[in-house]
Homo-oligomer: A and B are copies of this chain.
Amino acid sequence: MTEHSLRNVSIVGIAQIPVLKKSPLSLREMGAQVVKMAMENAGVTQVDALFAGNMLADELQGQKHIATLIASEAGLRGVEALQVRAATATGAAALRMAFFAIASGEADLAIAIGVEKMSSAPAAPVLAKALDADHETIHGATLLSQNARVMQQYMETYNVPVSVFDNFALNAHQNSHLNPNALFKDKIVTPKMVRDARVITPPLRLYDSSPVCDGAAAVVLAPTDEARAYNDHPVKILASSVATDWMRVADRPNPLDLYAARISARKAFRRANINPLDVDFFELHDAFSIVSCLSLEAVGFAKPGEGWRLAAEGEIFPTGRIPVSTMGGLKARGHPIGATALYQTCEIFLQLRGQAGQAQIKNANVALLQSVGGVGATVLTHIFAN
């Protein structure tokens, strides 16, 4: 690979709408709305390309051809529009495609938009298609059951009780109160509630997972050399990378080693020429507490078996060593699959610009974003900086 991508890329506009249990808007309306808002935010009336992330509309809305549908609904006749997917990491795949379009010189303005409307029909069986249909789903496995197994293995391997994960949920819910777009912005979650929550699949408890919801978010990208023409404080994308692991958890030498997270982070750190110590906060993929824990280890913030300490010792809190889920994360802002990484990107944009309101963390100059597709099978890493 070339030492750097050939054109540097920056974010010049963002848009997000409140995550809701059930949006009154249709999928296309949600998508078109954030596209138009993001363009307005960047001060542009036209873009060259639009990349849409959506995982579930095929089944939940009976709709393919999502990117063109949204472009059309937003009035962008003629624009390049393609859909991209990476299972539950789909939003980050849209971001990477828009990054590609700018970095390659094929576009000067590109939108990455993610949208998911999970309230239309039961989402769980559709989400399970992120697993191997012939060898996992066929035996009744779901994302939830697979993550519960990994969590169980972690607890047994490192001899820790389930309570070591409590702070992942508490931190997320605490932070979500400061984010007006968060699904659970008004929900009070106490330590006792986390401890006493019903067990969904042992040992995984309610607050160890993330909610089904509706949401859409978008960002506008431009070449860094032109970014200030659109925005007086653009945010740089220092690196974008993807890595995969064996599709089936059972095929991995060590399911507690999030190989794809490790490899994609390593690639991204090399591209950005930084290391984990340079990262001021980490928007990780806290779809399940165990994923947060393993991601902290895979990226290099903790040794194997010690990710939970960062939670238990409060180092993931906004004032800790490595704040995570600073505006609620997947757990409490919500996890509208195809939109999730775009929400995270919007939040990073706000944090780096000092515009995160009450959720603002101090000294936010370099941010890490990771998105996990399936049970660690596909991981995208993005690094952002002022």
Interface residues of A (CB under 8 A from B): 1-2, 4-7, 26, 28, 48-49, 55, 58-59, 61-65, 67-69, 71-73, 76-87, 93, 96-97, 99-101, 103-108, 129-134, 137, 240-248, 251, 259-260, 263, 373-374, 377-378
| Selected contact of A85 from candidates B64, B72, B245, CB within 8 Å | B64
Nearest Cβ distance between residue A258 and chain B, in whole angstroms? 12
Inter-chain contacts of A133 with B (CB < 8 A)? 61-63
Inter-chain contacts of A7 with B (CB < 8 A)? 2, 6, 104
Residue pair B68, A373 in contact (C-beta under 8 Å) = yes
Residue pair B240, A106 in contact (C-beta under 8 Å) = yes
A103-B106, A106-B240 known; A65 vs B86 contact (CB < 8 Å): yes
| Selected contact of A247 from candidates B65, B100, B130, CB within 8 Å | B65
Give the distance in Å from the alpha carbon of A72 to the alpha carbon of B69 in the complex. 31
A58-B59, A68-B86, A68-B374 known; A1 vs B77 contact (CB < 8 Å): no
Q: How many copies altogether?
A: 2
| Selected contact of A5 from candidates B1, B86, B106, B129, CB within 8 Å | B106
Inter-chain contacts of A129 with B (CB < 8 A)? 58, 62-65
Give the distance in Å from the alpha carbon of A259 to the alpha carbon of B96 in the complex. 28
A65-B87, A80-B241, A242-B80 known; A105 vs B4 contact (CB < 8 Å): yes
Residue pair B58, A58 in contact (C-beta under 8 Å) = yes
Give the distance in Å from the alpha carbon of A99 to the alpha carbon of B62 in the complex. 30
Residue pair A244, B81 in contact (C-beta under 8 Å) = yes
Give the distance in Å from the alpha carbon of A240 to the alpha carbon of B105 in the complex. 12
Inter-chain contacts of A101 with B (CB < 8 A)? 100
| Selected contact of A97 from candidates B61, B97, B373, CB within 8 Å | B97
Inter-chain contacts of A87 with B (CB < 8 A)? 64-65, 68
Residue pair A65, B130 in contact (C-beta under 8 Å) = yes
| Selected contact of A100 from candidates B100, B260, B263, CB within 8 Å | B100
